[in-house]
Every structure is written in C-alpha cells, then in structure tokens.
Chain A
Amino acid sequence: MTCDDARQLLLTADLAELTPGGPMPLGAHLAGCADCRALAGRVLAAARVVQAERDRPPRRAAGALAEEARRAARARRRARRRWTAVPALAAAAVVVVLLVRDGTPPIPIPPRTVETTPLVDAPPGRHVAVFETGNPAIVVVWTF
C-alpha cells in the first residue's frame, strides 16, 4: 500500500482502524510509516477530545432532573387548563360558541385556520378573539 492509498483510507476508515497494527491493510501501513501514523494520530487525538466532551455527565443527577420535569410538566398542564377556563369565568363579557364537530356548526370555523382567516367579525365597537382548546372539537370565540 502506498502513502496515497493509506491517506485516502485515512479519510473514511473507522477510528479503530487508525491505530498502528489495527485491521489490515491500513494498520500494517501505519505500523511501518511514521508520516501516515502521525496523520492518523491527529485524527484520533481530536476525536478523543470530542468523545470526552460527549461523556461529560449533566451537572444535576437523574433523580433531581426527573423530579423537576414532573413538577414543570404538571404546572404546564395546570396552566393549560386554567387558560381554557378563563372565558367561562368571565361569562358576562363573553360569548362562548361551542362548535361540536358532529353537529352543524353555527359559524364554520376550521380549527387549523382560525388564526389566519378572518372568519368571525367582531360586533361594532368590540373586539373578537378566537382560541383553540385542548379539545380539537371545541373552539372558543370571545368578544370583548
């Protein structure tokens, strides 16, 4: 094997093949050629630095991370529920239109396009907001 051949192989070989005496035929060439061995050594050394970085464990232990994740997930879930409950609490100022997929919707509002298409006109002097809820069959229309 020539140095040209070896250097071509160096570019794509598995890391395990880059050690002198590693799998033939590259290993045999590296064992006998200091120049190519030096190049292979540089590839390996740089890889080892990055490997060590990948192996660095997270600062917090798994138990602490899991506990915090559970807490954050529950808070997120509660916040989501609270958000969908707001229009109901402000009932006096709010008109809630429930659109049930199976029935005939009073206003045709496809849930995925409510943000971009002006499907609901606000009454004169008022504003209108349209919310999707956790239930895809229910859309809340809020005038204020």
Chain B
Amino acid sequence: MRVDEQLSDEDLIRRACDGDTAGFQALVERWLPRMHRWVLGMLDDPDEAEDVVQEVLVRLYLKLGAFRGEARFSTWLYQLTRNAARDARRRTRRRERRMAPLRGDELAAPARNPAAELERHEDVTRVRHAMAALPERQREVFDLVEFQGYAPTEVAALLNLSPGTTRAHLFRARRAVRAAVLGADAPATEARP
C-alpha cells in the first residue's frame, strides 16, 4: 500500500498511532536517510549506526503517541536519536574501543597518485582525531554543516540552539579541525619575506 507522499509528518504520525502500518512505514522511509546520517555523525561507526537506528525506530514506535507537535518533529526525532546514540556510546565505551578505522580507504578511488592518496588518508585521520576531541555540541554542529549539508540556521532549529550559539560552535570547531588537518602549514604566521 502506497501512502500519499503529500501527507505531512503529523498526518503520518496520526495514522501510525491509529495502528496504520503503512503510515509508520512511510514516516520511516521519509526520515531514515537523515536519521542514519545523524547517527553516523554521532558515532562514526557504520556497523553500530545501523543498530542504533533500529533502536531509535523502536523508541519512535513506542513514543509516537507522546509527540504533541509542540516541537518540530525533526527536533523531537533528533533528540530521540541523540539519546539512543548516547546510550550506545556509554555501552561501547566500557568495551575499550579501538580508534575508528580509516574508512576513507574503502571509499577512495584506486590510488592514481599514491602520495596524494596518502596525504588525504592522513588528513582524514586528523579530522577524526580533532573531532573526537571537540565538545559534543561543537562536534554535532560541525558534522551537520560540514558533512551533512545543513545550513547553520537549520542546525539551530534542529538542536534548539540560538543562531548565534550555533555559529560560534561552528566557528570554533572548524578552526580546531582545519588547524589539525593543516598542522604547521595552516596559519602562515612564520616569518615570510
């Protein structure tokens, strides 16, 4: 059964709460790509991300009736996702996690220029390390804008932050991550003729 794509989130939620399987499915189809990116940004681990997405969907199904429409659905769902990711992080932290592998490799095209490939590979590792050291909010804002294509104003709404705070987080995170990538090359503060 095909649920009308024109239906609003609120309509789909109402249908799902009334036991309409197709309504819930349509809601999941609509939000899954975004939700999956959010979780990837929060955990940076594709295997674990899918488990967390599954858990978010379970919680979504159980709590859908509690969504009152006072907040935007995106903000509410983001919070639900954030909590599930946090629970997962707490569990895995106990397991002495190894550093995230360099998955840049798998995605990169076959190396035509090995030196450039190596440099990119190292830069991606620096990005990961620098991001891991950021405060959580900074990291979230940075990931959403830099890697998921959100405008800062959209991030502000999603995270319930003021636009000014969002911009400040983004500014600090960018500076920290890019300085880590470019290392000593970054600001040309060394004496130049």
A45 is contacted by which of B32, B41, B120, B179 (Cβ under 8 Å)? B120
Q: Is the interface of A mostly helix, strand, loop or mixed?
A: helix
Q: How many residues on B have C-beta within 8 angstroms of the other chain's C-beta atoms?
A: 49
Q: How many residues on A have C-beta within 8 angstroms of the other chain's C-beta atoms?
A: 38
Q: Is the interface of B mostly helix, strand, loop or mixed?
A: helix
In the complex, A62→B57 CA distance in Å? 10
**Residues of A contacting B41 with CB < 8 Å?**
54
**Residues of A contacting B124 with CB < 8 Å?**
46, 49-50
Contact (Cβ within 8 A) B37 A54? yes
Task: Choose the segment among A5-13, A101-109, A112-120 that binds chain B (4+ C-beta atoms closer than 8 Å).
Answer: A5-13
> Nearest chain B CB to A140's CB is how many angstroms away?
22
Contact (Cβ within 8 A) A69 B187? no
The number of inter-chain residue pairs (CB within 8 angstroms) is 124
In the complex, A4→B186 CA distance in Å? 9
1/0 contact string of B59-70 vs chain A (CB within 8 Å): 011100000000
> Nearest chain A CB to B43's CB is how many angstroms away?
12
A43, A46, A57: which has the most chain B beta carbons within 10 Å?
A46
Going nearest first, the 3 A-B pairs with the smallest beta carbon separation are A69-B57, A73-B61, A66-B28
* Chain A contact residues, CB within 8 Å of chain B: 3-4, 7-8, 10-12, 15, 39, 42-43, 45-47, 49-60, 62-63, 65-70, 72-73, 76-77
* Chain B contact residues, CB within 8 Å of chain A: 21, 24-25, 28-29, 32-33, 36-37, 40-41, 46, 49-50, 53-54, 57-58, 60-62, 103-104, 107-108, 119-120, 123-124, 126-127, 143, 146-149, 171, 174-175, 178-179, 181-182, 185-189, 192
Q: 6 new A-B pairs (CB below 8 Å) besides A11-B186, A43-B178?
A: A3-B192, A12-B174, A43-B182, A53-B107, A65-B57, A66-B57
